[in-house]
Amino acid sequence: MSRSVKEGLARARELILSHRRFVILEHEKPDGDCVGSSLALALALEKWGKQALIVSDDPHPVIYDFLPGQEHFTRTGYLGLADFHADVAIFLDCGEPERCGRALPFAQKAKYWVNIDHHVSNTKFGDAVLVDPSAAATGEILWYLFGELGVNIDARIAVCLYVAVLTDTGSFRYENTTPRALRMAADLIEKGARPQEISELVYEAKPLSSVMLLGEALQTLEIHAGGKIACVSVTREMMKKVAATSEDTEGIITYPRSIQGVMVAVQFREADEGVHVSFRTRRAVDASRIAETFGGGGHPRAAGALIKGKTLPEVKTLVLEEVRRVLEQNPDLVVKA
Amino acid sequence: MSRSVKEGLARARELILSHRRFVILEHEKPDGDCVGSSLALALALEKWGKQALIVSDDPHPVIYDFLPGQEHFTRTGYLGLADFHADVAIFLDCGEPERCGRALPFAQKAKYWVNIDHHVSNTKFGDAVLVDPSAAATGEILWYLFGELGVNIDARIAVCLYVAVLTDTGSFRYENTTPRALRMAADLIEKGARPQEISELVYEAKPLSSVMLLGEALQTLEIHAGGKIACVSVTREMMKKVAATSEDTEGIITYPRSIQGVMVAVQFREADEGVHVSFRTRRAVDASRIAETFGGGGHPRAAGALIKGKTLPEVKTLVLEEVRRVLEQNPDLVVKA
């Protein structure tokens, strides 16, 4: 554990122990780590007789409805700023305060800010900075914090933290699947988290429309560049046909990427504002560099861009040409088979 | 650790240390646990200067080609019975000797039999019986055995054992995802297994035909019984259209099962010998009981049957009627929402 993490732990401990009312802030469009972490923290604070309120700009995805602690959750707009006065605001999984959107005013009323996150890009804001980029999830950092605070992890808290680490490691498949993350998961099972039940609830409670949309999108699967590029399209017509929401489009791009030999997977999606293009790449190709060519951005393995004023077929021609160019002109970017 | 497991470990250790030539037997259609375990064992035996040969009736699935130790592998028919004389035959992941098919004669020439398995149905055959149904995978039992034998687990052995536990727990999602399995995985990462690389190779190297077949099959998705039953069909025509192999049909049934509210997922597949029907159920419904009605069998959550002399639409009507009947007439079988 680094010195800054140790210091952050100590300072966060101090601020939490010496105050009574907490507001917990999540980033916009909260994911499993964010939701699991904030519920776990609210439940832990509740155990000590503290008041904890989670305020979020967006709802929690319905698949996390099974998690305990939801009674601590509210959305901006449902609660007036005057209704809850917090001593301390705790930001979870937010690289910068602005990431919590319209929930930020609730934090601005608090005396102290605690910043708990695992993103390397975190701006280190706040009075207590507990940022550990080596943690697989923000939930993993809470695990240490609870240890530091002497919280007795019960089954309800264990389930929330398990969801945090399970989802942020992609069911223990991503690079952040560290020995520490796996050992924490093992401990959480001993404390009452049921891995199969949780995995079923998280990964096997898909809306019918999302499975149908996947079927539609796979019909458009195309392979280019001798198998190195695979792309799929999601049209407005398809979305309408299966009554899909934009959430249903998530995950579709993992299918072209999962094909043997594919280096770059591309998804084109028609929307009112233009054509959304998503990129997923294998290790040797930088997705964010491709996305930047089209005014977008992202991470080395996952990036995207929004292209306006063109039809899907036009965007497709344009983008595939660029991806082909990247693969051809940068042979060092291409993994040797 | 139970007494019988301790005794099995001691007896297996003794037989391995006191002999030089080993034949390793896998069950037919070896899976990730079987392949990972046998390669790990062959590599460990090699480290001590022992001779080890894996004989299998079927090839290893190509997705496991990246695993080390393949030079120890051969298939029945490639090697004459007279070509290798083993002192000890070690059966891995085989509930009974017959499960290794035409590789059995290679074992019958050996003086001693070691039986290493985690199936509760294991018949406890052999001179050393190392059967532990509480182990997530046969690879987990090898992990203890290697500890007992003082084997230095290197990165090559670690990768093989990681694949064994990863695949048999369904990427740490099945019920057998125990704290022990997760801690073993953590140790294996420390010894050189790379979780992301391995997961990509195992789960993201799909043949193009399998992704295309999934798209075709999802077009047939139907929902019945108010959302409790979901079914998909795979026709001969589809298989031909995307040049699919029977391996490509694997996993398709997990999609209807993954839909929220579905209790029973059914897949119908046209083949020369008849219509293959597969069942996957949620906890409260016994798939094997449904399959038995049609002369098939299996496990409580996964079962199947082959129905001859009928067309796919005929079989579908028949089967859906029976599944509806089971759901209606056995309300205790149905999970309360």
Residue A329: is its pLDDT beyond 80?
no
* pLDDT value at residue B332: 56
* pLDDT value at residue A20: 97
Nearest chain A Cα distance for residue B41, angstroms: 23
Say what percent of chain A tops pLDDT 70.
98
The larger pLDDT score, comparing residue B282 to residue B60, is at B60
Nearest CA among A166, A210, A337, A202 for reference residue A263:
A337
Q: What is the pLDDT of residues B301-319, one digit of tens each?
A: 899 999 999 999 999 999 9
Distance from C-alpha of B91 to C-alpha of B95, rounded to nearest angstrom: 9
Q: What is the pLDDT of residues B152-184, one digit of tens each?
A: 999 999 999 999 999 999 999 999 999 999 999
Q: What is the pLDDT of residues A59-114, one digit of tens each?
A: 999 899 999 999 999 988 787 777 788 999 999 999 999 999 999 999 999 999 99
Q: What is the pLDDT of residues B183-217, one digit of tens each?
A: 999 999 999 999 999 999 999 999 999 999 999 99
Mean pLDDT of A266-279: 97
Domain boundaries along the sequence of chain B:
3-203, 208-333
Give the rounded distance of the alpha carbon of A164 from its chain centre: 10
Distance from C-alpha of A312 to C-alpha of A309, rounded to nearest angstrom: 10
Contacts of A39 (CB under 8 A, 6+ apart): A54, A67, A68, A69, A70, A72, A73, A160
* pLDDT value at residue A330: 67
Nearest chain A Cα distance for residue B101, angstroms: 31
The yes/no answer on whether domain A208-333 falls in CATH 1.20.120.140 is no
Looking at chain B, which runs of residues are DSSP E strands? Answer: 21-25, 51-56, 73-75, 88-92, 112-117, 128-131, 222-224, 229-234, 264-271, 274-281, 297-298, 302-307
* pLDDT value at residue A103: 94
Q: Which residue has the tokens 């192999």?
A: B245
What's the mean pLDDT when you consider all of chain A?
94
Contacts of A179 (CB under 8 A, 6+ apart): B186, B187, B189, B190
Query: Rounded to 5 degrees, what angle do the CA atoms B235, B271, B249 make?
Result: 60
The single-letter DSSP state of residue B132 is: -
What's the mean pLDDT when you consider all of chain B?
94
**Is B219 in contact with A219 (Cβ distance < 8 A)?**
yes
Q: Are strands B222-224 and B229-234 parallel, antiparallel or unpaired?
A: antiparallel
Distance from C-alpha of B202 to C-alpha of A171, rounded to nearest angstrom: 14
User: What is the DSSP code string of B148-172?
Assistant: HHT----HHHHHHHHHHHHHHTTTT
- Per-residue pLDDT band at A331 (split at 50, 70, 90): low
Mean pLDDT of A239-266: 94
* pLDDT value at residue A323: 96
SS3 state at A155: helix
**Is B195 in contact with A172 (Cβ distance < 8 A)?**
yes
Q: Which residues of B touch A172 (CB under 8 A)?
A: 171-172, 185, 195, 199
Residue A32: is its pLDDT beyond 60?
yes
Q: Which residue of A has its CA nearest to B208?
A: A259
**Is B173 in contact with A203 (Cβ distance < 8 A)?**
yes
* pLDDT value at residue A335: 44
* pLDDT value at residue B220: 97
Nearest chain A Cα distance for residue B249, angstroms: 15
Nearest chain A Cα distance for residue B190, angstroms: 7
**How many Cα atoms sit within 13 Å of A270 on the Cβ side?**
15
* pLDDT value at residue B284: 81
**How many Cα atoms sit within 13 Å of A47 on the Cβ side?**
18
**Is B203 in contact with A257 (Cβ distance < 8 A)?**
no
Residue A246: is its pLDDT beyond 70?
yes
- Per-residue pLDDT band at B276 (split at 50, 70, 90): very high
**Distance, first Cα to last Cα, chain B:** 37
Q: Which residues of B touch A192 (CB under 8 A)?
A: none
* pLDDT value at residue B78: 81
| Domain made up of B3-203: CATH architecture | Alpha-Beta Complex (3.90)
B23 strand-pairing partners: B53, B89
Q: What is the pLDDT of residues B283-296, one digit of tens each?
A: 788 999 999 999 99
CB neighbours (10 Å) of residue B210? 20
**Is B208 in contact with A227 (Cβ distance < 8 A)?**
yes
Contact A310, A276 (CB under 8 A): no
Q: How many residue pairs from chains A and B have C-beta atoms closer than 8 A?
A: 133
**Is A207 in contact with B260 (Cβ distance < 8 A)?**
yes
Site from A65, A177, A263 to mutate, B interface, most B CB atoms within 10 angstroms: A177
- Per-residue pLDDT band at B333 (split at 50, 70, 90): low
